[in-house]
Amino acid sequence: FWPGVLTVIAALVLWQVISLFFLPIFLPGPWVLLERVIQVYGDPATYFVVWQTVWRIIEGLVLSMVIGASLGLLMGLNRNFEAFMDSWIMVLLTFPAICWAFLAVLWFGLSEVAPILTIVLIVFPFVSMNVWEGTKAVEKNLIDMGRVYKANRSLMIRKVIIPQLMPYLFSAVRIALSLSWKIALVGEAFGVSSGVGQKLTYWFEDTRVDMMLAWGISFMVLMVAIDLLVFRVWEKRTFAWRHKFAT
């Protein structure tokens, strides 16, 4: 605990010392940045801007999980589908994110669709890959037992495969969240006229690094809080039945 606290304190002190050599608008110190964050969130309109971005992230995250998990499950259950999708998933994983953002704007213009589509196209291949690996790690003994008891495919998926995929699904959703919010800001910077990403663009054009950091870092803290207080708590409750073994 204490080494971590001392590391944070040392980093803040170093940050403050370095900031003394720059104008606050180019590199604000910790206290100046805190003042900027208070200034930003002192405006009631800020909360609507943040909510717009959060809602786009939720929409993109849900679509990415549904599409990615479905494809990953099908790839794990059907070898022909796996052989067909394997190369396509790798292509999508390596395609530059910024290109998807530009293409989404060209296809749909300045609309709500552009940032959400950008999130989906970038995130769902990661989800598919994670779930696909999970299906390949399913206990074969349980599948054989289900076949002995003549369980149909639907029952096998619901009662045997999906429960074993839960750790992979939780891992996928947390990875998806960490990617989605970053991609959402990029998509908003190019594809919509509102949101946190658009605010970052506005302050970038005004060469105000302090305001960019105020918006960016505060939104990052919000996303980390959502991960810790929602998804991690949900995961712990889901697997509360598991015994904890000392390592």
CB atoms within 10 A of CB 126: 20
Q: Which of 154-158, 168-172, 222-226 has the lowest mean pLDDT?
A: 154-158
Q: Which residue has the higher pLDDT, 5 or 9?
A: 9
Using the structure block, give the residue that is written with the tokens 């505060």. Answer: 218
Give per-residue pLDDT as tens, 31-48.
999 999 999 999 999 999
Q: Which two tokens stand for residue 113?
A: 């669709």
Query: How far apart, in whole angstroms, are the C-alpha atoms of residue 52 and residue 29?
Result: 29
Tokens found for residue 57: 């992230």
Question: Which ranges constitute the DSSP H helices of 78-192?
Answer: 79-94, 97-108, 113-136, 140-148, 153-156, 162-191
Residue 62's pLDDT is 94
Size (the chain), residues: 247
d(CA 157, CA 165) in angstroms, rounded, equals 10
The type of residue at 114 is A
What phi and psi, each to the nearest 5 degrees, are found at residue 23? -70, 145
What confidence score (pLDDT) does residue 233 get? 84
